Structure 1
Amino acid sequence: MYIYDDYDQRIVDQRVVQYRDQTRRFLAGELSDEEFRPLRLQNGLYIQRHAPMLRVAIPYGHLSSTQLRKLAEIARKYDKDYAHFTTRQNVQYNWPKLEDVPDILAELATVQMHAIQTSGNCIRNTTSDQFAGVAHDEILDPRPWCEIIRQWSTFHPEFAHLPRKFKIAVNGAVEDRAAIWVHDIGLNVVKNEAGEIGFKVIVGGGLGRTPIIGSVIREFLPCVHLLTYLDAVLRVYNRYGRRDNKYKARIKILVKAMTPEAFASKVETEWAFVKDGPQTLTAAEIDRMKGFFTVPDYTAFAGDDAAYVQQQIENKAFSRWAERNVFKHKQAGYAAVTLSLKKHGVAPGDASGDQLAAVADLADAYSFGELRVSHEQNLILADVKQADLFELWEKAKAIGFATPNIGLMTDVICCPGGDFCSLANAKSIPIAIAIQERFDNLDYLHDLGEIDLNMSGCMNACGHHHVGNIGILGVDKNGSEWYQVSLGGRQGNGAALAKVVGPSFAQEQMPDVIEKIIAVFVENRSGEERFIDVFDRIGMQPFKTRVYAKEIA
């Protein structure tokens, strides 16, 4: 993984000193709330419903065991002994004291971490495939390119005050596991007819109040021009994006209003001025960055581990876990393992200090001291020997991270909602837990197969409800918390937005509503057909009829 040089460390250390003095001045009454607000947001600090919230950057979801132990220590020392992993592959602390935040940032800096640009109208944390570098279907490892983007975008003076926040995702595999179609910019690694590797550039995607699937504005971008082209896209956005209305300020609104073709034309015109400028990447710089993401010291294996295969035959519970939580590795004899942070009855994405420290130990013992965060709010050990999987499974069970539900309905993507967020219209965590409790039979869940259930507490869509096979949105209805249900969304290849079923439901109705939706799926399913395939085949009406049957009667 990328290691800071003296320049990187100096920048982060200086930011800590600056923010410590800014906090001191605010607490002394020398800065007003209005003056302090942009300063704290530039350092990842929000004021939430009950307390401040600090969002810490995890670039493209990569962590070392040392960094994870520091996150565990901060959770114990400055929070209520837990942390929350987000859909931007970041981590949030929901209960820090405002006066302690400079100390937290100072501690983060000792392990090459920070909270810079985790908020504000700037380029946020670049995200990627949680299996980057190990995926069996990978065309190109996207991590060096994510790091290049991170360095280019951090403190970029021209893009520090964009019309609105800006998010970039990079996918290097055949299957899109980075949700590139619903980002401001999505970069997909492709090969052209000559066999050269470059990027397909997708612009104008995003969720929130106006969900839009992105548009391809360039089919093939040579790798050396990555930054010059991103410069051109951001400059066009900075020039033409609206600043008079924050609800219409995202680049997706500009692309739609201008049309993707007209927007692409303006980008090409702008790009002509910078295409061969100083931001053009040299072979030496690309190689330097790739040098931080070298192949670990793998043991050579001829094929699958025989004991691992036999253990699956002999132990049904282990076999079920291996089926759902173990991902095929490009290196023979290895696997990538997803540790589920979706144990039933626990807020999705949450982990205690002890759990984080235990995962750090697992990373050291089984995965070269590194781990990943997925935008589905789980943790990944990317380089585990198949021969170690049974032992790892037993240890993961002991800390509550071995629920075999990855990709199943209880692997819920869920924002903190009204329990914490001041923007939320409704709570999301209690609904997610209630649904998990209703569907707590693992045999039944496995029979149902893959179902993405995503939930957001407000229209900002931090829970990605628009691209869930089943999406739930918290809404305010005459001062009460209600929930709007949508069906048919999907992320990845063939991304599509869900359609709203109809009028919203009261909180106590939600487990029953989901149960009715699943009943319609089961009744209409053919063989092992997936939920999304059944929905595509039979449409919305059967589901709508069932969930509103009582009201209609």
Structure 2
Amino acid sequence: MPQTPHPALSVGRYSYDAVDKAFLKQRIAQFRDQVARRMSGELTEEEFKPLRLMNGLYLQLHAYMLRVAIPYGVVSSSQMRTLAHIAERYDRGYGHFTTRQNIQFNWIKLEDTPEILELLAETEMHAIQTSGNCIRNVTADQFAGAASDEVLDPRVYAEILRQWSTLHPEFTFLPRKFKIAISGSPRDRVAARFHDIGLKAHPGKDGRTVFEVYVGGGLGRTPVVGVKLCDDLPEEHLIAYLEAILRVYNAFGRRDNIYKARIKILVQALGAEKFLEHVNAEFAAMDKARYKLPESVVEDIRARFGAPVFLPPEDAAEKLAHQRKADQEFDAWVNTNTHQHKQPGYISVTVSCKPPGGIPGDVTAEQMNVLADLADQYSFGELRITHVQNVVLGHVRQDALYALWKTLQTYALATANAGFITDIIACPGLDYCSLANARSLPISQKISERFSSPELQREIGTLRLNISGCINACGHHHAGHIGILGVDKRGQEAFQITLGGASDQSEVSIGQILGSALSEDETVDAIARIIDTYLASRKAGEQFIETCRRLGNALFKDAVYASA
């Protein structure tokens, strides 16, 4: 059923004011001049590099890549159409959604970038702080503002953090890049403990919402689970406390060695207790009145998101139940790709960007336009990009779900695999990235095809499989129940397998290496043997990560390497 957006404001997406718009115009004019100077030869590539990185422009193996910021993953239908236009006009007809809820265009021409940035600004988008040693895009729960278990809307606080951190004079040139994630629910859907700062909201003792604050998490060549600094940070002190953490990092973080520069290394070097002492001392010395978040400011920002007008018919749930009973394929999709909504008669939908044999996170311009149309028709003109490289329609009437699903089927967007083995997270790998050791995308496609049977995926159950093309871990392989890491083995592409990682469990863990690296085809076969071992060894009702933790890695290692 069509949904009508709020008449005054965009729904679900923060609406820019005059200051935001003027700032973007000024920034684009500056970058247009910098691009012209680079193309004329007045600037060398080395001189131009920090300037382009500040505007989200990377130089990869074959072309420039532009990373567009999608704050906390929320994008409007008009913004999605702009992204589709950029993909069609300036790229090769598609974009790639990332694990920071952004989008990348991999085939951009340098001379086109100012024009692209102008198009983005027209729909209140930009590419600022998607690169560089600064605070990157703040990520949030993809079901923000809709989830039934939510205690606060994390988008509001992610927007506050965006405004605080953008071009912050103290934190523009940090020792290394810095990543923050915020969950508005006690259930972690943002991998909070694998971030430089992770925030989880929960009810406080007096009934008011407070934050758990984790610091020093991260992946890469030194994977670390973040430590809890604070269990009950009041909302009004959020900015002050985070600024205290950043000041300590800025003061003590290493700048002499890029591999030792992340905050996780500093926390380890000082020790969690000593680091906390420094943060508390900095926090105590701050003028709290200056940093306090007044309720009026929070409410003003909340109001700029707009509010859906929910108008479900009384029999929406009954209609959905009837349609599920009549169509088993639809019922299976609802089971895997929907999430309970706090509003009766509504539901949240995960649109899978990973059809069998597809490239994780890649979406064509046609699909982007379709998603924009569906957002207008079914979800108040609003979409969310997830950190697992899918798209969410947050507010769909239950009696409209079947019609939505039928349209998604037409455009290869209705795969019922959210949370299953083919819902793979993968970085672009050696097909694009000059840092990679191996190609992530072909092996992800082979695994997807190998396990494409819906019946087999349902039998396997919940399983997170992540692939990175190098130790920088852009595919978050350490956090996967099964992780795959591309390595160089005597000049050949090869892959290590890790088992036992988890980011969304009560027990967060880092995957451990199973054994020596294998070729691409050997790795696909090894994954199949791991799955066979799990299915033969699990207890009733046990998911893969539970079986893995109960049995340990030895049994799976024997299954993979016994015949080698």
Tell me the TM-score range normalised by the shorter chain. over 0.9
| Higher deviation after alignment, 277-286 or 198-207 | 277-286
Instruction: For CA contacts below 8 A with separation 6 or more, give which structure has more relative contact order.
Output: 2
Could you say which residue in structure 2 is the equivalent of 1:420? 432
Could you say which residue in structure 2 is the equivalent of 1:534? 547
Q: Residue type of the partner of 2:317?
A: D
Contact 1:188-1:199 within 8 A present in 2 as well = yes
Could you say which residue in structure 1 is the equivalent of 2:355? 343
Report deviation, 1:191. Answer: 2.2
Structure 1: unaligned runs, 5 residues or longer: none
Alignment of 1:240-251 (within 5 A): 240-251=252-263
Q: Residue type of the partner of 1:534?
A: T
Deviations 1:180-229 (A, max 9, x none): 00000001112222222121111000111100000011111111111111
Out of 90, 95, 98, which is 1:86 matched to? 98
Report deviation, 1:126. Answer: 0.1
Could you say which residue in structure 2 is the equivalent of 1:185? 197
Could you say which residue in structure 1 is the equivalent of 2:37? 25
Out of 501, 507, 512, which is 2:520 matched to? 507
Q: Residue type of the partner of 1:392?
A: L
Q: Structure 2 CA distance, aligned partners of 1:143 and 1:369?
A: 17
Q: Structure 2 CA distance, aligned partners of 1:195 and 1:320?
A: 38
Report deviation, 1:273. Answer: 2.0
Could you say which residue in structure 2 is the equivalent of 1:73? 85
Q: Residue type of the partner of 2:229?
A: I
Q: Structure 2 CA distance, aligned partners of 1:460 and 1:394?
A: 39
Q: Structure 1 CA distance, aligned partners of 2:246 and 2:49?
A: 25
Could you say which residue in structure 2 is the equivalent of 1:454? 466
Q: Structure 2 CA distance, aligned partners of 1:350 and 1:383?
A: 23
Could you say which residue in structure 2 is the equivalent of 1:430? 442
2:122 maps to 1:105? no
Could you say which residue in structure 1 is the equivalent of 2:15? 3
Contact 1:225-1:280 within 8 A present in 2 as well = yes
2:369 maps to 1:383? no
Q: Structure 2 CA distance, aligned partners of 1:332 and 1:95?
A: 44
User: Secondary structure, in 3 states, of the residue corresponding to 2:363?
Assistant: strand
Q: What is the TM-score normalised by the length of structure 2?
A: 0.96
2:143 maps to 1:131? yes
| Higher deviation after alignment, 296-305 or 42-51 | 296-305
Could you say which residue in structure 2 is the equivalent of 1:544? 557
Out of 275, 278, 303, which is 1:291 matched to? 303
2:483 maps to 1:471? yes
Deviations 1:475-512 (A, max 9, x none): 01111100000001111232111111011111121211
Contact 2:253-2:263 within 8 A present in 1 as well = yes
Deviations 1:83-105 (A, max 9, x none): 00000000000001111111111
Q: What is the TM-score normalised by the length of structure 1?
A: 0.98
Q: Structure 2 CA distance, aligned partners of 1:305 and 1:450?
A: 26
Could you say which residue in structure 1 is the equivalent of 2:8? none
Report deviation, 1:274. Answer: 1.6
2:169 maps to 1:144? no
Could you say which residue in structure 2 is the equivalent of 1:163? 175
Contact 1:341-1:378 within 8 A present in 2 as well = yes
Deviations 1:18-67 (A, max 9, x none): 00000000110111111100000000011101111100000000000000
Q: Residue type of the partner of 2:192?
A: I
Q: Structure 2 CA distance, aligned partners of 1:188 and 1:303?
A: 35
Could you say which residue in structure 2 is the equivalent of 1:517? 530
Contact 2:183-2:199 within 8 A present in 1 as well = yes
| Higher deviation after alignment, 267-276 or 316-325 | 267-276
Deviations 1:376-434 (A, max 9, x none): 00001000000000000000011110000000000000000000011111000000000
Could you say which residue in structure 1 is the equivalent of 2:184? 172
Contact 2:312-2:397 within 8 A present in 1 as well = no
Could you say which residue in structure 2 is the equivalent of 1:280? 292
| Higher deviation after alignment, 192-201 or 218-227 | 192-201
Aligned residues: 551
Contact 1:308-1:387 within 8 A present in 2 as well = yes
User: Secondary structure, in 3 states, of the residue corresponding to 1:94?
Assistant: strand
Alignment of 1:304-323 (within 5 A): 305-323=317-335
Contact 1:301-1:332 within 8 A present in 2 as well = no
Contact 2:467-2:485 within 8 A present in 1 as well = yes
Q: Residue type of the partner of 1:383?
A: H
Deviations 1:328-381 (A, max 9, x none): 111001000011001012110001101100100000000000000000000010
Q: Structure 1 CA distance, aligned partners of 2:316 and 2:464?
A: 30
Q: Structure 1 CA distance, aligned partners of 2:191 and 2:508?
A: 8
Q: Structure 2 CA distance, aligned partners of 1:31 and 1:277?
A: 45
Alignment of 1:325-364 (within 5 A): 325-364=337-376
Could you say which residue in structure 1 is the equivalent of 2:9? none
Q: Structure 1 CA distance, aligned partners of 2:136 and 2:396?
A: 31
Out of 50, 56, 74, which is 1:38 matched to? 50
Out of 390, 395, 417, which is 1:405 matched to? 417
Report deviation, 1:294. Answer: 4.5
Q: Residue type of the partner of 2:25?
A: D
Q: Structure 1 CA distance, aligned partners of 2:416 and 2:520?
A: 27
Could you say which residue in structure 1 is the equivalent of 2:384? 372
Contact 2:312-2:346 within 8 A present in 1 as well = no
Contact 1:121-1:161 within 8 A present in 2 as well = yes
| Higher deviation after alignment, 335-344 or 296-305 | 296-305
Q: Structure 1 CA distance, aligned partners of 2:432 and 2:45?
A: 20
2:235 maps to 1:223? yes
Report deviation, 1:275. Answer: 4.3
Contact 1:487-1:500 within 8 A present in 2 as well = yes
Report deviation, 1:527. Answer: 2.1
Q: Structure 1 CA distance, aligned partners of 2:302 and 2:313?
A: 25
Query: 4+ residue stretches of structure 1 with deviation over 3 A?
Result: 300-304
Report deviation, 1:326. Answer: 1.0
Report deviation, 1:277. Answer: 4.2
Contact 1:218-1:264 within 8 A present in 2 as well = no
Q: Residue type of the partner of 2:395?
A: D
Report deviation, 1:302. Answer: 4.9
Report deviation, 1:300. Answer: 4.6
Contact 1:303-1:332 within 8 A present in 2 as well = no
Report deviation, 1:532. Answer: 0.6
User: Secondary structure, in 3 states, of the residue corresponding to 1:518?
Assistant: helix
